[in-house]
Amino acid sequence: MTEQNADHDLNWLATQYALGELSPADHAVFEARLATDEAACLAVAEAVRLMVQLRAATVPVGAVALAATSSTPVPGRQLARRWAAAWVTVAMLTVAMAWFAVHQAVPPAAVELASTDLLARWTHAGLVDDADAWDDADLDGEWLDESLSAPNWLVQAVQLADESKSARP
């Protein structure tokens, strides 16, 4: 065995020891060797340093998997789901922005326009655009009431806008 091979063997043994990968018997043998073998002690130290450096140098597995996934071709159905998710996100952002607009000091006329328009869009998007899907779906009244009707806060906002308009001279 060459000196280089012996070094490689010692480095690998030390790495397995540091990683806790040796069998209990091999672990005990190697640990006993550490009591008197300076080269083995140095190999353990070097293995630990390398592992710590590598941990700092490598990205987490989850991030690698995510990057790998995003670079692979996406099937059509998956792509459609992503588009749907993107549209839902945009819609939610629109609703949130409108809600802030309604609750801030904006002219009553603008509130009225924005909220009425939003209510119309919400209803249109929920009830008209998906009309075909409704035919196929097995719906019950509870699901319909909770998920597709306009939320109370939105209805109240529109009502408030209407009241403020009618109260004006």
Partner 1 sequence: MTQARPFRPPSEQEIAANTAGGMNVPAEIVETAYHEYHQDLLAFLLGVLRDGHLAQDALQQTFLKLAESGGQARSETLRGWLFQVAYREAMQIRRRQRSDDVHRQKSWWMAPNDLSVDSEPIQNLIQQELTEKLRSAVQDLPVEQRQVLERRIQGEETFAEIAASMSTPLGTVLTRMRLALERLRKRLRDD
Residues that bind partner 1 (CB under 8 A): 8, 11-12, 14-15, 17-22, 24, 27-28, 31, 34-36, 38, 41-42, 44-61, 64
**How far apart are CB 56 and partner 1 at their closest, in Å?**
5
**Four-residue CA torsion sign, 151, 153, 159, 161:** negative
Question: 23 and 13 in contact (C-beta within 8 Å)?
Answer: no
In terms of CB distance, is 18 or 111 closer to partner 1? 18
In terms of CB distance, is 55 or 77 closer to partner 1? 55
In terms of CB distance, is 69 or 147 closer to partner 1? 69
**How far apart are CB 32 and partner 1 at their closest, in Å?**
10
Q: How far apart are the first and last CA of the chain?
A: 102
Q: How far is CA 69 from CA 61, 62, 65, 66, 74, in A?
A: 12, 10, 6, 5, 9
**Cα 168 to Cα 111: distance, rounded to the nearest angstrom:** 14
**How far apart are CB 11 and partner 1 at their closest, in Å?**
7
Place of tokens 């070094």: 7
**How far apart are CB 67 and partner 1 at their closest, in Å?**
12
**How far apart are CB 1 and partner 1 at their closest, in Å?**
15
In terms of CB distance, is 14 or 154 closer to partner 1? 14
Count of CA atoms in the C-beta half-sphere (13 A) of 139 = 17
> What residue type is 54 in one-letter code?
L
In terms of CB distance, is 68 or 133 closer to partner 1? 68
List phi, psi (to 5°) of 168. Answer: -70, 145
